Amino acid sequence: MPGPDPGDTAVALKKPAQPQKTGAVALPQADLQALTAALASPESAERRRAARDLGAFPEAGPILCAHLGGEAAASVRAVILTTLIRLKSPAVVAGLLPLLRSEDSALRNAAIEALQEMPAEVEPHVAALLSDPDSDVRILAVNMVSLLPHPKAPDWLAEVVARESHVNVCAAAVDGLAEIGDASAVAPLRALAARFPEVPFIRFAAAAAIRRIGGS
């Protein structure tokens, strides 16, 4: 696994710039195998170049996802994630979702940030994520859904509040509903406080969310 270069510093994940229209100029037909091999270069600059240039190949999504977990340089990770957002596809989502179980919190958060840019591709996985046996994964999924630009996101969070048994998962969903919830979330929020009478902060958080939504 290539290690970080001494001068390598973290680079914030940015949304990919929209490609400029330059007429009928074809994408560079770089060799996919050569670029994949360059991901193992000891030089972070070479790995960044390869990660960027692989954006010309839709089939490179799984390759980049597989490399991401072992990439130590934050700047290379950022380029990989930017390329994956540009390549967004069901295969890319399938490659990123396992990173929600990573012990590396920065990697988990970066994967969530990228997944938030792929709402249509993430949708088929939401139900499974919100019912995952691991409560930590469910919390991460709730946090992702809270920021997912998808019309069903408020309904997904309301369903969590209505059925979830883990208080911390419920708390995360309440926070999300305070930001994106609508009137349909008011009834589940009211019922939630009654389900956890021994947890005062749930009662207060649910009441605050109802006020923000506009419920009486």
Ramachandran quadrant class, 20 (left: phi over 0; alpha: psi -120 to 50; beta: rest): beta
Calculate the alpha carbon distances from 119 to 95, 114, 201 in Å.
15, 10, 31
Whether residue 75 contacts residue 49, with contact meaning beta carbons closer than 8 Å, is answered with no
The label of the residue with tokens 């967004």 reads 88
Q: Would the pLDDT of 14 be above 90?
A: no
Compute the average pLDDT of residues 8-20: 47
Q: Would the pLDDT of 11 be above 90?
A: no
Q: What is the DSSP string of 29-50?
A: ---HHHHHHHTT-S-HHHHHHH
Architecture in CATH of 32-117: Alpha Horseshoe (1.25)
Structure confidence by residue, pLDDT tens digits, 158-208:
999 999 999 999 999 999 999 999 999 999 999 998 899 889 999 999 999
**pLDDT score, position 214:** 84
CA distance 77 to 201: 37
Mean pLDDT of the chain: 87
The least confident of 19-28, 123-132, 189-198 is 19-28
Compute the average pLDDT of residues 36-60: 95
Size of the chain, expressed as the number of residues it contains: 216
Structure confidence by residue, pLDDT tens digits, 100-122:
999 999 899 989 999 999 999 99
Burial of 108 (0-12, 13-18, 19+ CB in 10 A): middle
